[in-house]
């Protein structure tokens, strides 16, 4: 029987249908290695299991606990595996991605194990009493810490928020014995594969985001945002006003009622910087704003700002970027 380190941190590693581990895994394992010994839990179909376990080890998992699960059943197989893993490892904390499925898994796991849940952390640390989660709340206006008073906290971690990476480890995989709880769960009966027409990175977890607001003026003119994003290899985001005006679909919305992002670089074009927008992007490492109103609130949080018309400034920026590539 494997002895687990006394400071083990359990990390739920999401596996994509392609067999790749989700991008969030690197940040989760990096966060875990900063406060303890990362132990990964990987649940997928038998054909993808060993490849996913190897990737988890290369991202820093000292032990990879593996379980096969029916991928047509949403969340429940992962929760069952996590319950089995927690019983075995007795971790100091459980880290899960703050993705849609991750939040479902974390909530179910916390309810089932009567654990405390801290959602949407942007960092973790350890003090004398255990693991502490750090959050950016109220539109990034406040940083707050949360900790539980009993047991191991279950913490969902915002994608892209953690920069640190764990050292690669040799693969040490252990199959888990999982007893399915038979909890009610949604089942996918059929699905249509949507052909991805974009080569841009996905907004959640993207390292660079270019976002456009009402200042772009129309759906046609919003193309300027796409062009700058393509020149930078960035994902495209938008303010709610741009979404409401029909420039882009709701899936692009960044903010309180949209996606939360923590990229290395966030460029806001024609976005005023309302608190609800800032809620979803204020933790970006570098914020660049281009707005023709020098008093726009976005400049209060921008690291670099250009007061000017996006239709004058951005084409010059794209030309400069293209010239640099030559
Ligand atoms: C409950 C609730 C939830 C919300 N959730 C969200 C959310 O998730 N995300 C979100 O974004 N908003 C959200 N909002 C809406 C939010 O309050 C703002 O209305 C919205 O963010 C404004 O979007 P905007 O900055 O694009 O538009 P505006 O506030 O209209 O700003 C447009 C900006 O473009 C500039 N501009 C105009 N033309 C140009 C030009 N040619 N060149 C350069 N600059 C130009 C203007 O100076 C202005 O600053 C929410 C609101 C509520 C009440």
Q: How far is the CA of 296 from the centre of ligand 1 (A)?
A: 10
Instruction: Give Dmax over CA atoms of the chain in angstroms.
Output: 66
What are the per-10-residue average pLDDT scores of the chain (326 residues)? 89 93 96 98 95 98 94 91 97 96 96 97 96 88 93 95 95 95 89 72 91 98 97 96 96 93 96 95 96 98 97 97 87
pLDDT score, position 195: 65
Contact at 8 Å (CB) between 276 and 289?
Answer: no
State the CB neighbour count (10 A cutoff) for residue 288: 18
State the CB neighbour count (10 A cutoff) for residue 20: 14
pLDDT score, position 138: 77
Contact at 8 Å (CB) between 11 and 36?
Answer: no
Atom of ligand 1 nearest to the CA of 275: 17
Residue 68's region, left for phi above 0, alpha for psi from -120 to 50, else beta, is beta
d(CA 243, CA 32) in angstroms, rounded, equals 36
Q: How far is the CA of 252 from the centre of ligand 1 (A)?
A: 14
- Of 275, 2, 305, 306, residue with least CA distance to 141: 275
Atom of ligand 1 nearest to the CA of 296: 49
- Of 106, 103, 87, residue with least CA distance to 39: 87
**In a 3-state reduction of DSSP, which class is residue 175?**
strand
pLDDT score, position 204: 87
Q: Which of 216, 223, 249, 256 to mutate to test the pocket of ligand 1 (most atoms within 8 A of CB)?
A: 256
pLDDT score, position 196: 61
d(CA 270, CA 290) in angstroms, rounded, equals 6
Domains within the chain, CATH numbers bracketed: 8-175 (3.40.50.620), 208-325 (3.40.50.1220)
Atom of ligand 1 nearest to the CA of 255: 8
pLDDT score, position 197: 65
* Alpha helices (H) along 91-145: 100-113
């Amino acid at each position: 029987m494997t002895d687990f380190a006394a400071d083990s941190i359990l990390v739920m590693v999401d596996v994509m249908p392609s067999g790749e581990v989700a991008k969030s895994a690197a940040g989760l394992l990096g966060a875990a290695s900063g406060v303890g010994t990362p132990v990964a839990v990987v649940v997928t179909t038998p054909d993808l299991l060993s490849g996913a376990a190897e990737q988890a080890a290369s991202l820093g998992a000292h032990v990879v606990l593996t379980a096969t699960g029916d991928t047509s059943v949403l969340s429940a197989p992962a929760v069952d595996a996590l319950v089995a893993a927690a019983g075995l490892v007795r971790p100091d904390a459980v880290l899960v991605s703050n993705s849609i499925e991750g939040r479902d898994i974390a909530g179910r796991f916390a309810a089932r194990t009567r654990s405390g849940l801290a959602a949407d952390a942007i960092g973790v640390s350890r003090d004398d009493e255990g693991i502490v989660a750090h959050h950016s709340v109220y539109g990034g206006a406040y940083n707050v810490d949360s900790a539980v008073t009993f047991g191991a906290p279950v913490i969902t971690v915002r994608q892209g928020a953690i920069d640190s990476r764990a050292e690669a480890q040799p693969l040490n995989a252990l199959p888990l014995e999982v007893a399915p709880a038979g909890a009610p769960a949604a089942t996918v009966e059929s699905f249509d594969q949507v052909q991805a027409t974009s080569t841009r990175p996905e907004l959640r977890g993207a390292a660079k985001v270019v976002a456009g607001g009402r200042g772009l003026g129309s759906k046609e003119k919003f193309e300027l945002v796409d062009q700058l994003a393509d020149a930078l290899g960035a994902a495209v985001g938008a303010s709610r006003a741009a979404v409401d005006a029909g420039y882009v679909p709701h899936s692009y919305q960044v903010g309180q009622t949209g996606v939360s992002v923590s990229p290395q670089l966030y460029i806001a074009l024609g976005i005023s910087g309302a608190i609800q927008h800032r809620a979803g992007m204020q933790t970006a490492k570098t914020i660049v704003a281009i707005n023709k109103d020098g008093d726009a609130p976005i400049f209060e949080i921008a690291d670099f700002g250009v007061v000017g018309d996006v239709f004058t400034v951005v084409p010059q920026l794209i030309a400069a970027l293209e010239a640099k590539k030559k």
